[in-house]
Amino acid sequence: MDQSPSNHDEFYVEVIGDTVYGKHLMMTIIISVCLSLAGFFLGREVIFPNIAAEEMIESYSLLLGIVGSVAGLIFNTFLFKPKRKLNETASTSDELSSVYEKLQFDIHEEREAIKNDPVIIQEMKEQGFYDMFMEEEKEVSQDMTSSRKKEDD
């Protein structure tokens, strides 16, 4: 767990690649489990013994427990709003290279993998960031083309 640099002593936890407040995570788990169990036990003890066949009580109760889980999900989405703010700015190839350096990735290796996969190329073009990602690669190939032309002349 990492401690936040803010004035509050809040702890963050990484869950499935996302960072969340530990307190909020525990509250969402508790709320979801309570609503699920409440739905199951309410169905098994109160609702379905009066209206369903004996062999179907457990099945209907399980279904009501699942409804409780979905209700917990909906309740938690309204209770805990996302704290993240996305700022979209135009990135340059240099910014991308510096990010790759910080992450210790080889950008040339990534570019080669992209060039060898037409599906990835198509998706990147549809999303509008293929040119930004391959900008440096284009500059290198243009330089090579212009130097070849000069040699031919």
Taking only the tens of pLDDT, the chain with its 153 residues reads 444 444 456 788 888 877 888 899 999 999 999 999 999 999 999 999 999 999 999 999 999 999 999 999 999 999 988 777 666 665 666 676 777 778 777 777 877 888 888 888 888 888 877 777 676 655 545 554 555 555 555
Of 144, 131, 128, 134, the residue nearest 108 (C-alpha): 134
Question: In this predicted structure, what is the pLDDT of residue 135?
Answer: 67
Task: Judge whether 42 and 64 are in contact, CB under 8 Å.
Answer: yes
Question: In this predicted structure, what is the pLDDT of residue 146?
Answer: 56
Question: In this predicted structure, what is the pLDDT of residue 93?
Answer: 62
- Taking the C-alpha atoms of residue 61 and residue 44, their distance in angstroms, rounded to an integer, is 5
- What's the angle, vertex CA 12, arms to CA 8 and CA 16, rounded to 5? 160
Task: Judge whether 66 and 44 are in contact, CB under 8 Å.
Answer: no
Question: In this predicted structure, what is the pLDDT of residue 129?
Answer: 72
Question: In this predicted structure, what is the pLDDT of residue 3?
Answer: 45
Question: In this predicted structure, what is the pLDDT of residue 144?
Answer: 47
Task: Judge whether 133 and 96 are in contact, CB under 8 Å.
Answer: yes
The answer for residues whose C-beta is within 8 angstroms of residue 121's C-beta and 6 or more apart is 114, 115, 130
Question: In this predicted structure, what is the pLDDT of residue 2?
Answer: 45
3 state DSSP class of 5:
coil
pTM: 0.53
Question: In this predicted structure, what is the pLDDT of residue 10?
Answer: 73
SS3 content of the chain, % helix, strand, coil (to 5): 70, 5, 25
Q: What are phi and psi of 117, to 5 degrees?
A: -125, 105
Question: In this predicted structure, what is the pLDDT of residue 8?
Answer: 57
- Taking the C-alpha atoms of residue 143 and residue 150, their distance in angstroms, rounded to an integer, is 11
3 state DSSP class of 88:
coil
